[in-house]
């Protein structure tokens, strides 16, 4: 009979494998799409949204890589609160600040960012509250840097609901030139509909350092 420890070890192994696959696929697809769209000032964002994950053979860089899963969406300010999904030996191996809302960049460089958010829409409740079958889903990326703060509309979709429960997903790729000590966070709307429950990942973010040079 399989023991509880055995089941835990097996689950941890599966999560780790999936995490590695997510990072590899996200970085590869970002490499393909990052030159196809215009850039924005001042942090030079390249954006390609609504791209489905698929296998590809583009090479991956050997830079820093991080994976965070959303614990909750803070309904006070709509920020997603993250948890580091990889075991770390030292405190400085994570980019999360004390609030777990902000990722603090430690080194200048070009970073690849992939984020996915799942929403569970209760159509019955929505129709009772608003009498409107349409729900706007949005992801905003907030950048805090030495020159100020900028909010970037990263992904948006309008869903039509019916009675009962239904799932919806938003995802986005970004390529960012960032300086050390710059910070980023993600806001999700509607915050109370963000779904964090499914395994292994429901709402998560990956951040990979692509290069030291801009």
For residue 62, what pLDDT band results from cuts at 50, 70 and 90?
Answer: very low
Name the β-bridge partners of 186.
141
pLDDT at 117: 95
Statement: residue 40 has pLDDT above 50:
no
| Whole-number percent of the chain with pLDDT over 70 | 65
- CATH number of the domain to which 207 belongs: 2.60.120.40
pLDDT at 193: 95
For residue 57, what pLDDT band results from cuts at 50, 70 and 90?
Answer: very low
Question: Whole domain around residue 85: which residue ranges?
Answer: 4-211
Task: Say if strands 103-104 and 183-189 run parallel, antiparallel, or are unpaired.
Answer: antiparallel
pLDDT at 102: 96
| 3-state SS class at 207 | strand
Of 36-45, 46-55, 100-109, 199-208, give the range with the top mean pLDDT.
Answer: 100-109
Arithmetic mean of pLDDT, 133-155: 92
Statement: residue 176 has pLDDT above 60:
yes
| 3-state SS class at 123 | helix
Statement: residue 119 has pLDDT above 70:
yes
d(CA 192, CA 173): 24
Statement: residue 134 has pLDDT above 70:
yes
Number of domains in the chain: 1
Statement: residue 10 has pLDDT above 60:
no
d(CA 146, CA 12): 39
């Amino acid at each position: 009979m399989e023991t509880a420890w055995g089941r835990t070890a097996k689950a941890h192994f599966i999560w780790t494998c999936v995490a590695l696959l997510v990072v590899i696929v996200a970085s590869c697809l970002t490499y393909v799409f990052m030159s196809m769209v215009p850039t924005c000032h001042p942090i030079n964002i390249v954006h390609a949204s609504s791209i489905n994950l698929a296998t590809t053979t583009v090479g991956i860089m050997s830079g820093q890589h991080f994976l965070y899963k959303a614990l909750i969406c803070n309904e006070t300010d709509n920020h997603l609160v993250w948890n580091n999904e990889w075991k770390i030996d030292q405190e400085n191996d994570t980019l999360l600040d004390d609030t777990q809302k902000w990722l603090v960049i430690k080194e200048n460089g070009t970073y690849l960012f992939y984020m996915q958010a799942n929403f569970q829409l209760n159509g019955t409740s929505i129709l009772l509250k608003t009498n409107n079958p349409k729900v706007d889903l949005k992801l905003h990326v907030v950048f805090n840097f030495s020159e100020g703060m900028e909010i970037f509309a990263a992904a948006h979709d309008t869903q039509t609901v019916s009675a009962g429960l239904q799932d919806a997903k938003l995802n986005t790729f970004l390529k960012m030139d960032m300086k050390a000590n710059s910070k980023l966070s993600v806001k999700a709307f509607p915050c109370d509909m963000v779904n964090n429950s499914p395994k292994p990942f429901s709402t998560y973010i990956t951040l990979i350092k692509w290069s030291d040079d801009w």
